[in-house]
Amino acid sequence: MVPRAWRDDPRSVMTLDAGGTSFRFRGMRGGAAVTETFTEPSHGDDLDRCLGTLASGFARVRAQCPAAPAAISFAFPGPADYPRGIIGDLPNLPAFRGGVALGPMLEDRFGIPVFIRNDGDLFAYGEALAGFLPFVNGLLAQASSPKRYRHILGVTLGTGFGGGIACTDEHGVALYEGDNSGAGEMWLLRNKTQPAMNAEEGASARAVRRAYAERAGLPLDAVPDAGAIFEIGCGPESGERAAAIEAFRRLGEVAGDALAQAVTLLDALVVIGGGVSAAWSLFLPALVGEMNGFYVGPSGERVPRLTQSVFNLEDPVARAAFVRGDPREIAVPGSARRVRYDAGRRIGVGISRLGTTEAIETGAYAFAVRELGPPRENAPWSA
């Protein structure tokens, strides 16, 4: 069971979800909002204005917090040296160049610790604590299954194709960040359908628009956004419905291929968030189908690409089969004793149970109070 002490933590933390065009601020305590949530433009092409927005935004949150905040914790784009709070050269915030000591600047300004991580990391962390991971393990517990999951790959499908990795043990939930703050960079896996490109060019909102334009025979500037294309694919909106369905199927194929590569190494549950995740009904079947695909052996035989079976947990029939698994009771050699285990090697894939922003902000809060340590001397604490 995932420890829940962070939900009862009395300290306030100022959080931020930073994107290429806007910054979303709020204050949290015990994993819940204690201030209004407000959004400011990022001014990503002007470093002084951008840093000024960050400082004034956190000052506004601090003024609204019911008690002095203990830390600042937020998601910010990379590449970055996240443990040191230094932001590198950002594609979506072009003013950040040559290394910007954002964490130290905010520490100097507010006099409290600052924790910065990638949005994919904090999304995975939040879903591991309070979203998809406890949801899946709760289903298994209700079915009296001996199977439990400890690892989760969080994937965000939207403007880009991001990821983060979290796991649980007896000490709580931890992030796997790598030695260069570069773990979970899903976008840089190879694109199955266009191998000279990275996966993000086939698994993102812009990929959906390009695929729709190609299939519908339209110029790209005449194509609506991915949300509108989803509505076309579902039927109520006028447009090229077959093109919309194909655009999301292609996204599912590329994303599924990338996820199959990732889970080959991680052997983890997969939870999907981001703006495009709302269109899961159009891409998730293709994604799971790709993960359950085959390689071809030297003699033409089919070889499963994964040792595990992959289940779409948004499909009630597949979810029931996933929960049921393959329970067995076997004899211990040389003994009258018998042991029970689940022989079904399987991975579940599904959509965020918290919502992407809520998962990121939950992750940011819980990560901060874990790093701060117990809220009072000698108090047991875990996250």
Lowest mean pLDDT among 45-59, 233-247, 280-294: 233-247
Domains of the chain plus CATH, in order, are: 5-117 (3.30.420.40), 132-351 (3.30.420.40)
Provide the pLDDT for residue 171.
74
Q: List, in order, residues 6 or more apart from 20 with CB less than 8 Å away.
A: 42, 44, 77, 92, 93, 159
Provide the pLDDT for residue 121.
95
Inter-CA distances, 142 with 135, 137, 145, 321, 324, Å: 11, 9, 8, 14, 11
Contact 271, 124 (CB under 8 A): yes
Torsion of CA 177, 355, 276, 19, to 10 degrees: -60
pTM of the full structure: 0.92
- From the number of C-beta atoms within 10 Å of its C-beta (0-12, 13-18, 19+), residue 86 rates as middle
Question: Residue 121's CB: how many other CB atoms inside 10 A?
Answer: 28
* 91-142 pLDDT per residue, tens: 889 999 999 999 999 999 999 999 999 999 999 999 999 999 999 999 999 9
Provide the pLDDT for residue 256.
98
Give the count of alpha carbons within 13 A of 326, CB side only: 7
Contact 161, 258 (CB under 8 A): yes
Q: List, in order, residues 6 or more apart from 289 with CB less than 8 Å away.
A: 252, 256
What is the mean pLDDT of the segment spanning 8-12? 89
- In this prediction, residue 377 has a pLDDT band, given cuts at 50, 70 and 90, of low
Lowest mean pLDDT among 2-6, 59-63, 333-337, 361-365: 2-6
Is 379's pLDDT higher than 50? no
